[in-house]
Structure 1
Amino acid sequence: MAALKDGRIDVGFGRIAIDDAAVTRRLLREENLLAVLPIGHPLFDRVRLQMADLTDDALIIYPKTPRPSYADQVLTLYRDCGLEPAAVHEASGVQTALGLVAAAEGICIVPESVQRLRRDDVFFRPIDDPRAVSPIIMYCRAEGAPREVDAILDMIRQHYRENNIRNALFG
C-alpha cells in the first residue's frame, strides 16, 4: 500500500480487503477455492469436498509473511465454518506449499487459478461451500489516480468477457 499511496505505482492488486481512506478498492471477481491433496489421499475418489472433510490433515498455508495475507483468509474460512485443521504449517509461497502437499505433509486450499500450474503429484477438488472464495481486488489512489486506471479496467472487462469469466465488473 505504501508504494501506491506514495505514487510509485498507480494500481495494485491483492486478495485482502484493506480499509484505507487514501486508496479506493474495486472488487474484480471472487475466485473459487480448491482443496489440494496428495496423490493417494483417501479423498481422491470424491468429486467435491465439504470443509468438514478437510479437518483430519495438517493444513499448509501461505504466504508465511507478510500478514495479514491470503493465509489468514484460509484460516478465517475454517473458523467461519466452525472447524479447525488438525495442525497448521506455514510455507513461504504457493510452490513450496504444493511441494509439501505432494510430500504428504498436509493439504492446502488455493484459488482455482493455481490449478493451472499443472502438477501431477497432487490433485485438486472443489470445495462445496459458498464461503470458499477469495476476492481479487484492484486498488488505486483515492485522489489523483491516473486516467490509465480506466484503461486497465477496460482491458480487464474485455479479458473477462472473452474468456467467460464470472466477475463483479459486469456480472
Structure 2
Amino acid sequence: MIEVRQARYFIAVAEELHFGRAAERLQMSQPPLSQAIRHLERQLDAQLLERSSRSVALTEPGAVFLQHCYALTAAAERAQVAAAQAQAGYLGTLTIGAVTSAFSEALPAIFGRLRAERPRIELRVRELDTTEGVQGLLDGRLDIAVIRHTGNDERLRSDPLRRDRLVAALPEGHPLADGDTVDLAALADQPWVWIPRAISPRYHDELVAVCHQAGFSPEPRHRANSIHSQLAMVGCGLGVGLVPHTSSQPPVPGVVCRPLREPAHLVELAVVRRATDPSPLVAQFVRHALPTP
C-alpha cells in the first residue's frame, strides 16, 4: 500500500528531476529521500527513475506512477478539507425526526436558514410522534427531534422552539361557540373527542393536567389519532376538543375555536437532542433553529 508521504516524495523528485532540489523542497536531507525512493521502487518492483551522475529522468512506469501520485495526494487533501469542514459543521449528514405540525411552520424557515449557510449538509427527515422522537434520540437513530417535549429526561436536552396556547374546539352551533372565551369547566360534562395517551403520552398528560386544574377529569367518548382528525370529528358534531391554537389554523369547516377564559399554555414544539452529543452538525441546527437571545 502506497502512503501519501511516499507519493509526495516521488512527486517532488519527478518534478525537480534533481534529488538535492527535491530534498530542499521537502525540507529534508538528500540521503533519506534517495533511500525512500529506492524503497518505493523495490516495493513496486519497478524502476521509476533513470539515474546517472549528471541527471535524473522519469521512466515510462515512473510517468504512469506520477499521475497516480497526483491523484492520491489530491484525494488526501480533499479528505483533510472534508474532515475540517465536518468538524466545523459545514459537511455531513443530519437525521431529523419531527411531529406533523413542525413541517407547516417551524421547519421550513429553519431548513431555509441552514441551507443558505451550510448547503453541503445532507438532511434526512422523517415524520414521527413525540414518543418515537425520544426513543430515536436515545437509541441513536436520530440526531435531532422537533417534538412536543417538556424536558424531564436528564439524558436529553430540550429547548422550547414555540410555545402555544390551548383553545376549545366546538362544533358550529354549540351553545358556548358565540362567546369570546370559554370557561373550560363548563365543558366538563360534554362528549370529548380525545387523542389517546398511547399516541403522544406527554401531550396527553399536559391536556389532562389542564382539565384537572379546571376541576374535572375528561371522559373521552370519541378517539382520534391526530389533531387533524380530532378537529374533523369535532366538525362532524361528535363532541368538543382541546387543541393548540396553531393547530386550529386555518379554520376547519364546522369547527369554532375559542380561547380559554383562564389561559393554558404548553410547549407546542421543542428542539431536542442528546445531552452529551458533541456533534458540530447538531450545534449548527440548534443555532439556526433557536431565536438569538
Q: Normalising by structure 1, what TM-score?
A: 0.80
Name the larger-Rg structure: 2
Q: Does 1:56 align with 2:159?
A: no
Tell me which residue corresponds to 1:94.
227
Q: Does 1:150 align with 2:287?
A: no
Tell me which residue corresponds to 1:112.
245
Root-mean-square deviation (CA), in Å?
2.2
CA distance in 2, matches of 1:48, 1:150: 41
Q: Does 1:137 align with 2:264?
A: no
Q: Does 1:5 align with 2:5?
A: no
Query: CA separation of 1:71/1:120 partners in 2, compared to 1, >3 Å: closer, same or farther?
Result: same
Equivalences for 1:24-103 in 2 at 5 Å? 24-63=157-196, 65-85=198-218, 87-89=219-221, 90-103=223-236
Alignment check: 8 A CA contact 1:32 1:134 kept: yes
Structure holding more helix per residue: 2
Deviations 1:2-28 (A, max 9, x none): 211232211112223253332111223
Deviations 1:67-118 (A, max 9, x none): 5232222111111222234x31321111221122112211011111112243
Aligned length: 158
CA distance in 2, matches of 1:69, 1:21: 16
Corresponding residue SS for 1:150: helix
CA distance in 1, matches of 2:179, 2:196: 28
Deviations 1:27-52 (A, max 9, x none): 23321111110011111210111222
Alignment check: 8 A CA contact 2:169 2:234 kept: yes
Alignment check: 8 A CA contact 1:10 1:145 kept: no
Structure holding more strand per residue: 1
Tell me which residue corresponds to 1:161.
none
CA distance in 2, matches of 1:64, 1:20: 18
Q: Does 1:23 align with 2:137?
A: no
User: Larger relative contact order (C-alpha < 8 A, sep ≥ 6)?
Assistant: 1
Alignment check: 8 A CA contact 2:199 2:225 kept: no
Query: CA separation of 1:137/1:157 partners in 2, compared to 1, >3 Å: closer, same or farther?
Result: closer
Residue 38 of structure 1 aligns with an amino acid whose one-letter code is P
CA distance in 1, matches of 2:242, 2:277: 37
Measured after TM superposition, the shift of residue 121 of structure 1 is: 1.1
Structure 1 residues not aligned, in runs of 5+ = 159-168
Percentage of identical aligned residues: 26
Alignment check: 8 A CA contact 2:235 2:252 kept: no
Measured after TM superposition, the shift of residue 154 of structure 1 is: 3.5
Alignment check: 8 A CA contact 2:160 2:271 kept: yes
Alignment check: 8 A CA contact 2:185 2:215 kept: no
CA distance in 1, matches of 2:188, 2:177: 15
